[in-house]
Each structure stands twice: as C-alpha cells, then as structure tokens.
C-alpha cells in the first residue's frame, strides 16, 4: 500500500521560498507519477503540477509557471515542491498525490505572513 508522508507546517515571510517534501513508502517513486495540489483556507482544490509519465516531463499549471519547481530524489523516494516569491495568497495546505489522485499525503500548511 502506498503511503505519502509530508513535511511539517511552515511559516514564511512574503518574498521567501518554501520547499515541501513528500516521502513515499510501499512503492518506489519511479513507479509513481507525483502531483501537487493546494487548498487555500475555505476554498476548493487547485492542481499545481505533476509528472507526466508519457512525456517524462513535469507539467506545471500556467498560474505557477516560473515560481514552482517540482523535483524528485529517487535515492530516498522523496518528492519536493518548491514555491518561490511567496505572497499572502499562497497561504494554503499543500498536498502531494499520486496521479490521478489515487493516494494523498496528509497535507502541509504553509502560512505566508509578515
């Protein structure tokens, strides 16, 4: 059974960057297609990007292009999502999820506040 365990909550100042990790167990990262989804307080789910196994590339939502980087460390089966130039509107719970939404991490709250 796949399990995804994410890193803990973060508090960042506007303009800073945050890097959230997602540790995979039960499978290896190379067997999975990892995606990232966020949810602002009281709002719906928003897809940020993910790995497309057909092309072998990571695809980002246009909204986050240039600000987000999704990487993987296959030696530790850990996926990462880094978001830069943070603003208050980026305050949200960030989830990793295997495509197409089969398994989810527990979520990481990122708070952006001065």
Q: Which residues bind another protein (CB under 8 A)?
A: 35, 44-47, 50, 52, 59, 61-62, 95, 97, 99-102, 104-107
Using the minimum distance from each CB to another protein, give the nearer residue, 16 or 25: 25
C-alpha distances in angstroms, 104 versus 19, 55, 66, 97?
18, 23, 25, 4
Shortest reach from residue 65's CB to another protein, in Å: 11
Using the minimum distance from each CB to another protein, give the nearer residue, 13 or 41: 41
Shortest reach from residue 17's CB to another protein, in Å: 22
What residues have CB less than 8 Å from 49, skipping those under 6 apart? Answer: 35, 36, 58, 59, 60, 61, 64, 68, 70
CB atoms under 10 Å from CB of 30, counted, come to 10
Using the minimum distance from each CB to another protein, give the nearer residue, 7 or 107: 107
């Amino acid at each position: 059974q796949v399990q995804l365990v994410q890193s803990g909550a973060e508090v960042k100042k506007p303009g800073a960057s945050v890097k959230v990790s997602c540790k995979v167990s039960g499978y290896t990262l190379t067997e999975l297609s990892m995606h990232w989804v966020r949810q602002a307080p009281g709002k719906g789910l928003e897809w940020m990007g993910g790995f497309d196994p057909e092309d072998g590339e990571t695809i980002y939502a246009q909204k986050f292009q240039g600000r987000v980087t999704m990487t993987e460390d296959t030696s530790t089966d850990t996926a990462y999502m880094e978001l830069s130039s943070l603003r208050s509107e980026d305050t949200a719970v960030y989830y990793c999820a295997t495509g197409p939404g089969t398994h989810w991490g527990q979520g990481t709250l990122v708070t952006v506040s001065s």
